[in-house]
Structure 1
């Protein structure tokens, strides 16, 4: 079983992370009556993800605890033994942290469908396992200079797109942009589906310009290898890492072996009843409802 990385380890490995900033933010967190008890490692991850800006880290922490509490269907109950749908989602979706980093010290995350039957696909739970796996990694092994996400769309069909709920989709995109304590460097789509243009058209209204510029669509692997070293990839992609099937079994084991972390995450939410000032609600943060079925995607 893994445990949280010591913040003292981060001080030694990251000269830009200042102990006085962590201590200042810790006092600020204690003054936020609606916050849970915030750990120094959480503050350090927020600072790192915000490139050490104290004010931005405050916003990151506020958004992190608020959104996770407000959207339990995306972020709570990470125990597959207590949730048959989550257990099924783990058999459908692969989210693997590959063992080798890039030369820039970016971690590489591979996501793909292991079962391409759209009837089994639940995008809400696919988002959940993505968050579960990446946060487990950064809390226990520490942050990296950035995160590169590879989305292999092999086997994707229009039926997968039609399963998506627009409200949940936007909530998760807001969370990634404003709350998730990582530096998202790029999202690389490979083996793209014919309707990729429709996916991009749906993404664009909900992603800020600077984030949209981090999306890369690869029609061949040569351009992809310019961003991700080939040797870092599983042998299925011509690389030197263990196979996709090996990564699949490893990722599931990592989640099952670290239930302590997901139980802890369930406590990391705000108490709106203790918030000083106006309470936050879903309308103020996200502001709409809808599904892809209600949109024109022809």
Structure 2
């Protein structure tokens, strides 16, 4: 069931998850709509931001920021700013495009509409079995810094753990580069298991894993095809999503540059959209 109906939030949380949202995130069902409206009115007053204004989008950011209105404003600004600064990641995401379909066939997808994970968070498993030295050579410090900034500072997600399995020779070198840009609390949630699946099971319940990893929760191929179909069904949403960004020439105060965001030289003013 979708957590929104005609742009209005409809709670789909179980009583247990709703209680968790109140305890851990500071969510108050009686105040929730007022908080959403406060952020919506703030967004409407930002001349440089073209943002989604529906309840569900705003609520995801409120939950990701534990209902701090100021932190939510900062993260939303950063989110739309980075979308403009990194068009190679946020533009041309038509799921029917051959290049995009190739990525979807790999199962590379973050849930956008799963309400449970906005409260309970999520755990990642990264299988590096097919990673080669050639992949590692593409991981420049600038690219890694950009990726970690976008992941940690833009998205309203609650990562609870990162698990690396089947790590290849030379993994430590690249891993240490990523780790250098991680926040301290994130470093504590990283687990490197090598090829030891028993070690993985201590972090992730075995029964929820795909059969390829010793679980009983379907196959990787089944899961990949399921989510690829979900993304294709949301094609119109993805194509429409590209218009939500910033125009730095309209920002009140000093425009932000790539250097401000990622410690990189240059500006992305040429990417502004009126």
Q: Name the structure 2 match of 1:21.
A: 35
In the alignment, does 2:150 pair up with 1:150?
Answer: no
Alignment of 1:5-44 (within 5 A): 5-6=4-5, 7-10=8-11, 14=18, 15=22, 16-17=27-28, 18-37=32-51, 38-44=53-59
Q: What secondary structure is seen at the aligned counterpart in 1 of 2:254?
A: coil
Q: What's the counterpart of residue 237 of structure 2?
A: 261
Cα pair 2:117 2:158 within 8 Å, conserved:
no
- 1:79 equivalent among 90, 94, 97: 94
- Which of 145, 164, 173 is equivalent to 1:189? 164
Aligned residues: 248
1:208 and 2:222 aligned: no
Q: Which runs of 5+ in 2 are unaligned?
A: 266-274
Counterpart secondary structure, 1:185: strand
Q: 1:141 deviation in Å? A: 7.2
Q: Is the 8 A contact 1:49 1:182 kept in 2?
A: yes
User: Match for residue 116 of structure 1?
Assistant: none
> 2:107 aligns to what?
94
Is contact 2:80–2:246 with CA below 8 Å preserved after alignment?
A: yes
Question: How far apart are 1:194 and its partner, in Å?
Answer: 2.1
Q: Note closer, same or farther for the CA distance 1:4–1:79 as it changes in structure 2 (3 Å cut).
A: farther
Structure 2 distance, partners of 1:70, 1:10, is 33
> Which of residues 64, 67, 73 is equivalent to 1:52?
67
Separation (CA, whole Å) in 2 of partners of 1:198 and 1:12: 41
Matches of 1:3 and 1:69 in 2, distance apart? 28
**If the length of structure 1 is used for normalisation, what is the TM-score?**
0.76
Which deviations, in whole Å up to 9, do the C-alpha atoms of 1:199-230 show, x marking residues without a partner? 22211222222222221111312221122111
Cα contact 1:78–1:262 (8 A) shared by 2? yes
Determine helix, strand or coil for the equivalent of 1:35: coil
Show CA shifts across 1:130-179 (max 9, x none): xxx324334x7772411111101112211111133443332121011111
Q: Which of residues 195, 209, 228 in structure 2 aligns to 1:252? A: 228
| Structure 1 range deviating more: 67-76 or 16-25 | 16-25
How much is the aligned-residue C-alpha RMSD, in angstroms? 2.3
Closer, same or farther in 2 for the Cα pair 1:163/1:75, shift >3 Å?
same
* TM-score, scaled to structure 2: 0.82
Distance, in Å, in 2 between the alignment partners of 1:141 and 1:261 is 21
State the partner residue of 2:271. none
Q: Which runs of 4+ in 1 moved over 6 A?
A: none
1:63 to 2:64 alignment:
no
Once the two structures are TM-superposed, the CA of residue 244 in structure 1 deviates from its matched residue by 1.2
